[in-house]
Each structure stands twice: as structure tokens, then as C-alpha cells.
Chains A and B, each alone.
Chain A
Amino acid sequence: MELYPGYLDDHFSILKLRGGSAAPGGGYMPMPSAAAPMGIYDRRHHHPLADAGAAVWAEPFRYMASGSGAAHGVELAEPKFEPHPMAPHDVHDLALHEGAHMPALPSPDSSDDQEPARPGHKERRLAQNREAARKSRLRKKAYIQNLETSKMKLARMEQELHRVRQQALYAAGTSTTHPGLPLPSSFDPVVAAFEIEHARWVEEQSRQTRELRAALQQQHPDTPEPRLRALAEAGLAHYDRMFLAKAAAARRDVFFVMSGAWRPAAERFFLWIAGFRPSDLLNVLAPQLGPLAEEQRAKVARLRQTARQAEDALSQGMDKLQQSLADSLLLSAATDQEDDEGFDDGAGSYSYSYVARRMGGAMRRLEELAGFVEQADHLRQETLRNMYRILTPRQAAVGLLALGDYSQRLHALSTLWAARPREPV
């Protein structure tokens, strides 16, 4: 269609307002007249699609409405969103339906009449126009809804992308500052932070071990050793930091901490409640300490015994926990039908409230697991502290050096094991 000044006049002049009137409508005719331009603008603002809040629709209209060439503006806007060849008729038809909103519009001018001289066809054509207009309205509505959902989806995806990118940046950032650190395998930020902190902790422990070795080689055995004492206390404090971080991670994801996934592979073999056995600790230390005084030897033996007993008590508690958890999950219909009040709601022992209550018990058992990790770490801490109390500063330094060496050797074994030649698949 070709647009030229007066196009609207020519086409709209054949349209009728409030359908059925014999006089051909020049209702839109008075473009140049004073009242009409506002009428057109009104019509646009009352347009059902504009009311639908679709900014994409309202914008071009409003923008076009501001200019004086508004008539053409309406036409220009139309083709963008309605490639339907019946566009002018659609607008006309819509306008017809809006006729009720526009009492201000001048009455149809019956002077201009360019209609074909066959009234019957006119009615049918009008009906077709109405139908087409209705269909196009529905299509437009569907299109807008589609756009809205796509917009929401896009926003969500952008959010997730941003989040994942941040995580990757954080991991990459720490990797660049500490080359050689592995990327965290967990998605939980607290747990991932724990993995990274553990890797740094291991590095710091290596440094402290080197320092201990250097200090022990220098010092004359008989001279006082404030430096060794300081080093030993620094070593203990370092272990305390690890226990603290582990407790926080266990509260967040106890199964991750219990799995030992954050430790080198060979160490996992010795895992007892998310860490080393306190009695194993003494086994590693004792041979390295050299000759001990009688009293010291007795104390170490007692410490080994009490640590073992405490370990056993905790292990038995863990067994009981496993058992309780298994019991919670076993739905034994016979015992439970006679169980608590309000329980037998007539629906049988497998009603929802029953299952929820059962699962509540199992959930509580799982919550206890973090407590066990805490108790086990507490036991390790106490064992280390008591050992420190029994030994002289030099012996303590030797002991910590032995522990550090042992850990490093386990780490090296894990790396070697991971790199071992395997048969090609």
C-alpha cells in the first residue's frame, strides 16, 4: 500500500461509525479538523492492546501521536506489527468497536460516499472484517504473552550465568594467586571455600614443617628453646584453625566432610569420622620422640589408652546412629498402628502424616551427624593438647615435625597412586 498525505481521508472516508448506518462514514475524515486529532489519539489510548500493557504496542503509537503527521503515524505503526493485508480494515474495525468510547467524535459525514453500489456485499465484507480483526487481536495477544515469558526466561538465565561466572572467577582468582591449587568440586560456597582453605592449610603446614626441621637441626640440644616452644604452639594453633573450618563446613554439608573428598586419596583410607584417629596420632608420634622419661612414658601410655576408649565410645555412638536411622526408615506396620495418638486416621499406617513423622525422625538422626564430627575433632584437639603438655618443647617440635612429614608422605603417595601407569582400556 502506498502512503501519501490524505490516504487516510480516502480510505477512512468510506468507513462507517456505529455500523449499519447507510451514510458512509467519514468519521475519521476530519483529520484536519480541530476535534478529530484528539479523537484519534483517544482511540489509540483506548486501544485494547495498548490497555493490555504491552509497551511494544503503546510506544510507537504514543511516539507517533506526538507529531502532527499523526494520521500517517497510525498507518506507519500498523505495518510493523500487523503485516496482514487487511490492516487498514482492522484499524477501521477496531475503531468501529471503539466507537462506543468516543462520544466526542463527530458524527459520520454522509456527504462522502465512494462505496460500491451493492449493499449486501458490504454487510458480508464488514462481517469478514470483524472476524479478521478478532483473529488478529488474538494473534497479537498470543505473541505478546510469548514475548513476556521469553523475557522472564532470559532474565532467569542471565542471573544463573552471572552466578556461575562469579563462582568460576572466584575459583580462578584464588588459583592464580596460589598456583597449584585444585579447583573446588563443591557448588556450595561455604564448602567450596573450605576446600580452598584446606589446600592453603596444607601449604602452610608444609612451610611450618620446613621451619621446624631447620630449627631442630640448628639448635643445640641443651640450650633453652623458646623458639621451639613458639613453633610448637604455632603448629597447634594451625590444627585448631583446621578444626574450626571443618566444623563450619560440617554444619553446611556433613556428608561432604565425612567423605573426606577434600583430602588426598591415601589419607581417606585412614579416615575415622572425618579425620585421623587420635590413637593413630600417638602411634605416629611415639617412635620419633626418642628416649622418654619414665613419667612421660607412663603418661603417654595412659593417653593412648584413654584416647582409644573415647574413640570406641564415639564409634559405638555412630553405630547406634546408623541403627536408629535404619529403624526410622523401616516402616513396620505392625508396631506403628498401635503407636501415638491421632495417628490412626483411618487411612492405614501409610498415611502422609505417618510418613512425615517417620522422616522427621530420620532427619533428626542426620542432624546429629554434624555433632559427631564436632566431637571427633574435639577429641583430636584434646589429644594433641595433652600430648603437648606431657612433652618438652623440643619433643613437641619433633612430634609436630613427624606429623607434618607423615602427612606429606601420605600426600605424595596419593599423587603417585593417581599417576600410576594403568593398562590401556
Chain B
Amino acid sequence: MNMQEAMAPAQLRQMVAVASTGDVRRAVEQKPVVVVGRWGCCMVHVARRLLLGQGANPAVLEVGDDADPAALVAALRSKDISTRGVADVVFDACGAAATARHAAFPAVFIGGRLVGGLDRLMSMHIAGELVPVLKQAGALWL
């Protein structure tokens, strides 16, 4: 348990600022793996641990309790950030319209593209599709 987890939640909240849409966009554009979730949500932790286990180092951003995932996804999509050369075939399953409608927290972005929620991440991992996608996004250090 590192220092961050040993602190009381109140202190932790003061350290981790709530991310704005701009923060999220910047992170998604710059970092290969980003997990966006509500503050204090333990599913974010699950996604993070899963990705860490594969050798990736995800950036974790926390939004407010009342943030709307669909709105966030729509706002990000409008700026057309999904052009990072990642294979399209993997993301065919979550078409643009479907993703926006079913968007939920925590939301996982790999290579600038929205992969989906935690269950999508799990499905990909069990099917063995997660590691190739991470590699392609340059998230894994081999």
C-alpha cells in the first residue's frame, strides 16, 4: 500500500484535482492509456490494476460525482481526437453512436480512442485482444 492509499480520503481528495473536459482531452491525446472515472469509484482501481498487470501504465483522471459520461464522450469526439493510427478492426464493435449512448464510467481510452467501459476491457482481455491493442498504441514497454 503506497503513501497515497494510506492517506485519509479527505486528504487524498485535496491532492487529486477533479479533471475538466479539457484535462481529459489533453490526457487522451498525449497518453497511450487513459482511464477516466468518478472520484472514489473502485472500478477505476480494477481497470488500473488490470492494465498495470499487462505492463501498461495508465493515466487515471477523476471527474466529479455528477459528471455525465455520454456528455464527456460526445465533447471529446467533437474535437476529433480518434486519429492515432490504431487498428480499426478492434473498435468496430463499439460504433460511434453506440459508444456515446452506452458510455459509462470508468471509461478507458487506448491510443486516443475510446475502448469502452470496464466490461469491454474485461471482454477484450479474456479474448486475448487487449495486449495487441496496447502494443499497437505503444503503451507497453517491451
Contact = CB atoms under 8 A, between A and B. Distances in A.
Interface of A: 302-303, 306-307, 309-310, 312-314, 316-318, 320-321, 323-324, 327-328, 330, 332, 335-336, 339, 361, 364-365, 368, 371-372, 374-375, 378-379, 382-383, 386
A309 B125 contact: yes
B87 interface: no
B128 A310 contact: no
A246 to B, nearest CB: 15
Contacts of A375: 43, 46, 118-119, 122
Given A364-B40, A379-B126, 6 more contacts: A306-B126, A316-B45, A317-B42, A375-B122, A383-B126, A386-B127
A93 to B, nearest CB: 70
A313 B42 CA distance: 11
A330 B8 CA distance: 9
Contacts of B40: 324, 361, 364-365
B31 to A, nearest CB: 20
Closest 9 CB pairs of A and B: A317-B46, A313-B50, A313-B49, A321-B42, A382-B126, A320-B45, A335-B10, A320-B42, A335-B8
Contacts of A310: 50, 122, 125-126
Contacts of B119: 374-375, 378
B86 to A, nearest CB: 21
Contact of B10 (A321, A339, A382, A386): A339
B41 interface: yes
Interface string B92-125: 0000000000000000000000000011001101
A382 B8 contact: no
A1 B9 CA distance: 84
B46 A328 contact: no
B45 A317 contact: yes
B53 interface: yes
A307 B126 contact: yes
Interface of B: 5, 8-11, 40-43, 45-47, 49-50, 53-54, 65, 118-119, 122-123, 125-128
Contacts of B47: 313
If over half of A's interface residues share one DSSP class (helix, strand or loop), that class is named, otherwise mixed; here it is helix
Looking at A328, A374, A378, the one whose CB has the most chain B CB atoms below 10 A away is A378
B122 A378 contact: yes
Nearest to A299: B128
Contacts of A371: 43
B43 A317 contact: yes
B41 A306 contact: no
16 contacts: A312-B49, A313-B53, A316-B45, A317-B42, A317-B43, A317-B45, A327-B8, A330-B8, A332-B8, A335-B8, A336-B10, A375-B43, A378-B123, A379-B122, A382-B123, A382-B126
A166 to B, nearest CB: 38
Contacts of A364: 40, 65
Contacts of B118: 375
Contacts of A374: 119
Given A312-B53, A335-B10, A361-B40, A382 B127 contact: yes
Contact of B46 (A303, A313, A332, A386): A313
Contacts of B41: 368
Nearest to B46: A317
B122 A309 contact: no
Contact of B126 (A320, A323, A339, A386): A386
Nearest to B14: A339
B8 A309 contact: no
A371 B105 CA distance: 11
